Structure 1
Amino acid sequence: MLQGHFISATLDENSVSETDTFHYWKELRGYTAPLFFIVSGLVFNFLLLKTQALPLFENQRLRKGLKRVFLLFIAGYLLQFNFANISYYLNGNPGVHIFSFHVLQSIGAGLLLLIVLFVVFIKLLRVPWYIIYPLTLVCWLYLSGVVSTTEGYIPANAPELIQNSIKGPNSVFPVFPWSAYLLYGAFLGALFRQLHTRVRFALIPVVLLPILGIFLFLSGELLQYLQALTGLREIVYELYALKVMFQLTVVILFLLYLEKVLASTQTLLLIGKNTLTIYILHSLVLYGAITGTGIITFYRNTLTGWQAIVGALLFISFFAVLTVLQHKSEKPWLKLR
């Protein structure tokens, strides 16, 4: 995320030839957001389902989840406020971006969806996880097709703040289709939870990949059936999303194999535990969120390829050092967990 955002914000693409390396970088950068959503759903649901036996009102993990949802929404909208535009705000003009539905709000909405599924269907109605998550995922992908082919904003007469979460003038990461990646991550989290106590770790990919391959194939078949039944549209994006989900699953399983190596690298573990803090700080430093002044104020799309690469490495190093220093501090000055 850090290198992708830095390079895309500062690189002058006219100074870079369209080489295979640059092409692959642009392709891989497109996987960053889906991976972010999938891992968020995986970790959240893995931990939440561990508390399934607890009564709802005694479930601390559930309470932490609701607090995280609230924090994500507040932080997301706060980062879109900009003191450089204060005169516009005072004149009653909020600007085009302040009500945008961006990545933090979208993840918050996705986590809220997982909480509702957990409380209503798993806890109260006792629906098995292997039914509710796949079924909800297929429905979500199908509804994403409905939303994308519907003319105008949705809901039609709702405030822009609400419209942007589904289909509005500034829907950057709308819940349709982005919550589908979070739902898939939730399915993975539930599957990991079932397998990790029943199957030797080395066998997990051998068991998991065929299961997921069959599941995603059947999901695609079901989506095609629904499309043929309704005549709604070609479901190109939805099938692309399923392909991305499977590819990223392979990446996640590969990282699990590197767990012992990663676990020995304290800095990587600290960064992994502070992703929200790092996201907020990188928005301030790179994009000038809230303050109106950031790196792009001076270097927006002006760097050559090598300059952008070196800058990205320094950018990553800065946050790595900052994370370690905060961890060693007796009183961490900023920690959003």
Structure 2
Amino acid sequence: MGNSNLRLYFIDAIRAWAILMMLQGHFVDGLLDTAYRDNTNTYYSIWRYFRGITAPVFFTVSGFIFTYLLIKADNVGLSNPRVKKGVKRGLQLIIIGYLLRLNIFGLLNGQIYDSFYLVDVLHCIGVSILGIIGIYLLTTKRSRYFFPALLLIFTLVLFVMEPYYKQYPHHYMPSFLANYLTKAHGSVFTIIPWFGYASIGAFLSVWFHRFRNSTYLYPVAILSFLGIGTLLIYFSSPFFLSLSNLTGMALFSKIYLNNYLFIRLGDVFIVFAVFMFFRRFLTHNTLLNIGKSTLSIYVIHFIILYGSFTGLGLYRYFHHSLAPSIVIPSAVAFMIVTTILSLKYEANKAQIKIHFATGVKAVSNKLAVWLGMESFPGLGIIWSKSKTSLLRLFRMVKN
């Protein structure tokens, strides 16, 4: 097994770890009785801290792996095939994010619930991919240092200015667009500041790619990540407090009082360092396949836990009602079942697509006959085009 192949294995391993952490995190957070949410409890505090690491790691890894593949291609600019694939992938994630919030019963009543317009992880990662592509295209004809420099600047600006822009509800925008910028309407994630983690992941991937053949890449990277991570976790808050005292600027004081972005970035660096250190032991096919199946795992877990399409998920029946003695083993079972279903889906993806497309076509034909559409040429043409659009949408979402 060549050393070059090991370079991305640790990334898939991190993705696998992050998605499994997300599964148990969502399950426990959604179903654990509020009576047991005691921050003075050591076990709960540890769990809560590590749960907070998951999303920053996931966004950073997403930016890393996409950008690594983007700059790995021989062609540059619009001729780079990864640009087209990336645009398709970004739009795909946004569409899936909205589809997972659809409620069939609401649609049958002619309603689209407000929750449909809320922004979540998939929306933000999709927009982040499109953002990275935009920065890449703007910098292809400039110095090779301009692309990573701009990525780093985006991260720093988004993180430093967060105390100011987070307070704006953006009432001047339609709510479905404002949801990408503010949590005022109920969005779980917003593109700012979370794009900052994707852009720092993209920044790191550029340097990994440039020094990919260096013998000292991993020793230097591990030590650097451990050092930077430690500094961010333990010294970034005192640093901003010092800046506040030195300059008198309220901005630095606000960062000091709620310095979660830089501390979590430090956590991300530590996680990267740990996985890089153990990279030679993280090459088991199952682990890597989990890392490559994160989208399927996310979709399946969303359906089971939150009841996508029907509203009939575990969250509806057991929301904040279970004791730890039930939640903990149930969370483990939930992780196992969701992962197995996802891996089974990935192994039989082609056949499932064919069967689904055939089923959609059969049902649509019967529905057309039942509605008498075949008797009216004009309506028949509309129905035919609708079927074609539906099948195209399914192929775009699932490819």
Which bracket does the TM-score occupy, shorter chain normalised?
Answer: 0.7 to 0.9
Report deviation, 1:110.
1.3
Q: Which residue of 2 aligns with 1:205?
A: 222
Which of 54, 60, 63 is the equivalent residue of 1:32? Answer: 54
**Structure with greater helix share of residues:** 2
- Check whether the contact 2:225–2:272 (CA below 8 A) recurs between aligned residues: no
Q: Supply the RMSD in Å over aligned alpha carbons.
A: 3.0
Matching of residue 331 in structure 1 with residue 350 in structure 2: yes
**Which letter does structure 1 place at the counterpart of 2:31?**
T
Which of 313, 318, 326 is the equivalent residue of 1:294? Answer: 313
Closer/same/farther in 2, CA of residues 320 and 175 from structure 1, 3 Å limit: closer
Closer/same/farther in 2, CA of residues 319 and 262 from structure 1, 3 Å limit: farther
Work out which structure has the larger RCO, using CA pairs closer than 8 Å and 6 or more positions apart in sequence.
1
Report deviation, 1:130.
4.0
Residues 140-169 of structure 1, C-alpha deviation per residue, up to 9 Å, x if partnerless?
22343331244xx22x42211111111252
Matched residue SS, 2:116: coil
Which of 328, 344, 349 is the equivalent residue of 1:309? Answer: 328
**Which letter does structure 1 place at the counterpart of 2:26?**
H
Which of 42, 65, 68 is the equivalent residue of 1:46? Answer: 68
Which of 106, 130, 142 is the equivalent residue of 2:160? Answer: 142
Determine the C-alpha separation between the residues in 1 that align with 2:297 and 2:88: 18
**Which letter does structure 2 place at the counterpart of 1:80?**
R
Report deviation, 1:320.
2.7
What is the percentage of aligned positions where both structures have the same residue?
A: 26
Matching of residue 164 in structure 1 with residue 179 in structure 2: yes
Residues 56-107 of structure 1, C-alpha deviation per residue, up to 9 Å, x if partnerless?
333121111111110011011111111233366x2xx533311111111111
Greater displacement, 65-74 / 191-200:
191-200
Which of 259, 272, 276 is the equivalent residue of 1:252? Answer: 272
Closer/same/farther in 2, CA of residues 192 and 212 from structure 1, 3 Å limit: farther
- Check whether the contact 2:120–2:187 (CA below 8 A) recurs between aligned residues: yes
Alignment of 1:4-15 (within 5 A): 4-15=25-36
Matched residue SS, 2:114: coil
Closer/same/farther in 2, CA of residues 213 and 160 from structure 1, 3 Å limit: same
Q: Which residue of 2 aligns with 1:320?
A: 339
Report deviation, 1:136.
1.9
Determine the C-alpha separation between the residues in 2 that align with 1:103 and 1:321: 22
Determine the C-alpha separation between the residues in 2 that align with 1:214 and 1:130: 22
| TM-score normalised by L of structure 2 | 0.73
Which of 22, 38, 44 is the equivalent residue of 2:44? Answer: 22
Matched residue SS, 1:75: helix
Which of 196, 208, 211 is the equivalent residue of 1:195? Answer: 211
Greater displacement, 295-304 / 181-190:
295-304
Report deviation, 1:245.
0.7
- Check whether the contact 2:60–2:202 (CA below 8 A) recurs between aligned residues: yes
Greater displacement, 27-36 / 327-336:
327-336
- Check whether the contact 2:230–2:270 (CA below 8 A) recurs between aligned residues: no
- Check whether the contact 1:11–1:303 (CA below 8 A) recurs between aligned residues: yes
Q: Which residue of 2 aligns with 1:178?
A: 194
**Which letter does structure 2 place at the counterpart of 1:174?**
T
- Check whether the contact 2:304–2:314 (CA below 8 A) recurs between aligned residues: yes
- Check whether the contact 1:72–1:108 (CA below 8 A) recurs between aligned residues: yes
Name structure 2 gaps, 5 residues minimum: 1-21, 354-396
Report deviation, 1:127.
5.5
